[in-house]
Amino acid sequence: MDAARKTPDQVTQRLDELYRRLQDAAASQAGYPCNQLFDYSELYRFLGLSINNVGDPFHNSNFWVNTHEFEREVVNGFAFLMGMEPERCWGYVTHGGTEGNMYGLYLARELYPDGLVYFSEDTHYSVLKTMHILNTRSIMIKSRESGEIDYDDLRETVRIHRDVPGIVLANIGTTMKGAVDDVPRIRGIFRDLAMTDYYIHADAALSGMILPFVEEPQPHRFEDGYHSIAVSGHKMIGAPLPCGIVLAKRDSVARIARAIEYVGVLDTTLSGSRNAFTPLILWYALKRSGLSGFRKAVAAALAVADYAVARFNDNGIPAWRHKNSLTVVFPKPPHSVTEKWQIAVYRDIAHIITMPHVTRATVDAIVADCAAALQQGDCS
């Protein structure tokens, strides 16, 4: 490590080089769900303050340099999108989807200490790590070809373990295929097996900000059977920092809360000190765009996804996407293509995700590269 002190010009040069490299990388990023179109310059002044949202955003704190008020408005806004009355909903702004899923599973474990967690093989890779951290028993369920959880395998596995509470991590948009698990059907399995002690958490990292804005959404609201829901903020919304939100039923959270005298606040979140800038980001996005703005952005992104499927297929490359999904799946292209466009791959498939910054011109360029590879025999 070079620990020598740099001159101001050297520091500036290094930062300028990094900025140019990141700008170039952002322009060619098409395989991961990170929206690059945003402008939060009005919030930059808050970076001059050491703000900290320690503790529960719905409880007063001795540390006043916080944005709890704005965080509460964000929680209430997302509660509305997920069909929950604000007075019955609790939540907080997280560091991202992984923390949101961990919180949901942590809450489920506290409510059902002997519970058994079920999740599909298409669930995000971080869930296995979460199971290890929480020291919770779990069983991976097979997935259908579509990416949905295999309901027959789930039913049989739950039947075998029906003597313990069931905890399900359901996907509202899987990582590689964008599949949505049928939660009413999952609830039906518990009902048929006469199981009343169960908990369903939703990983809605990307699609949680898509389904509320389409005409025929798949089940994604609390009324559909979810007990907690995690949504990412840096995906469809777009943000310069990873962030997200987790929502849960207020009465469930109240059962695990404890008071912390040091900061005069309830300890209900996973971390102590929490980012106080990201609640401003989400608040600003919700207020500036409004429901109509997000509805327009989602419609435009879905139109580009349709365009991408058609362009791939027109060029002899079989591609498809799920209903209401921005994830366009196609055969895995060679490394030169995946590296150029930062395309995510898994086994023999790849995908692009038509986030708002991915244009039709971007799609044309990616398809052209894949078609050229196909002609050269490098792409299956």
Domain end point (choices 231, 254, 287): 287
Q: Has residue 259 got a pLDDT over 50?
A: no
Report residue 375's pLDDT band, with 50, 70 and 90 as the boundaries.
confident
Report residue 263's pLDDT band, with 50, 70 and 90 as the boundaries.
very low
Domain end point (choices 235, 267, 287): 287
What is the reported pLDDT for 379?
53
Residues 237 and 308 in one domain: no
Q: In total, how many domains does the chain have?
A: 2
Q: What percent of the chain has pLDDT over 70?
A: 96
Distances in Å between the Cα of 211 and the Cα atoms of 39, 261, 301 are: 24, 41, 13
Beta strand 166-171 with 198-203: parallel, antiparallel or unpaired?
A: parallel
- Of 147, 135, 196, the C-alpha closest to 321 is 147
SS3 212: helix
pLDDT in tens, 309-359: 999 999 999 999 999 999 999 999 999 999 999 999 999 999 999 999 999
Q: Contact 225/200 with Cβ under 8 angstroms? A: yes
What is the reported pLDDT for 154?
98
Q: What is the mean pLDDT of residues 116-141?
A: 95
Residue 380 covered by a domain:
no
Q: Has residue 267 got a pLDDT over 90?
A: no
Residues 71 and 192 in one domain: yes
What is the reported pLDDT for 83?
96
Residue 317 covered by a domain:
yes
What is the reported pLDDT for 272?
87
Residues 26 and 86 in one domain: no
Residues 68 and 154 in one domain: yes
What is the reported pLDDT for 261?
39
Question: Could you tell me the CATH number of the domain that includes residue 16?
Answer: 3.90.1150.10
Residues 82 and 228 in one domain: yes
Q: What is the mean pLDDT of residues 145-156?
A: 98
Q: Has residue 60 got a pLDDT over 90?
A: no
Distance (Å, rounded) from C-alpha 175 to C-alpha 179?
8
Residue 2 covered by a domain:
no
Residues 261 and 237 in one domain: yes
Q: Which two tokens stand for residue 51?
A: 């703000």
Residues 182 and 240 in one domain: yes
What is the reported pLDDT for 61?
83
Q: Which two tokens stand for residue 346?
A: 């898994």
Active site residues: 325
Q: Which residues constitute the domain of residue 330?
A: 8-39+290-375
Question: Could you tell me the CATH number of the domain that includes residue 71?
Answer: 3.40.640.10
SS3 96: coil
Residue 250 backbone dihedrals phi, psi, to 5 degrees: -60, -40
What is the reported pLDDT for 185?
97
Q: Contact 342/24 with Cβ under 8 angstroms? A: no
Report residue 3's pLDDT band, with 50, 70 and 90 as the boundaries.
low
SS3 280: helix
Residues 250 and 307 in one domain: no
Residues 225 and 340 in one domain: no
Give every CB contact of residue 182 below 8 A, 6+ residues apart in sequence. 148, 151, 218, 219
pLDDT in tens, 185-235: 999 999 999 999 999 999 999 999 999 999 999 999 999 999 999 999 999
Residue 167 covered by a domain:
yes
Residue 1 covered by a domain:
no
- Of 302, 328, 322, the C-alpha closest to 31 is 328
Residues 62 and 171 in one domain: yes
Domain end point (choices 225, 258, 287): 287
Report residue 62's pLDDT band, with 50, 70 and 90 as the boundaries.
confident
Q: What is the mean pLDDT of residues 152-161?
A: 98
What is the reported pLDDT for 307?
98
Residues 311 and 348 in one domain: yes
pLDDT in tens, 280-321: 999 999 999 999 999 999 999 999 999 999 999 999 999 999
Mean pLDDT across the chain: 94
Report residue 374's pLDDT band, with 50, 70 and 90 as the boundaries.
confident
Residue 362 covered by a domain:
yes
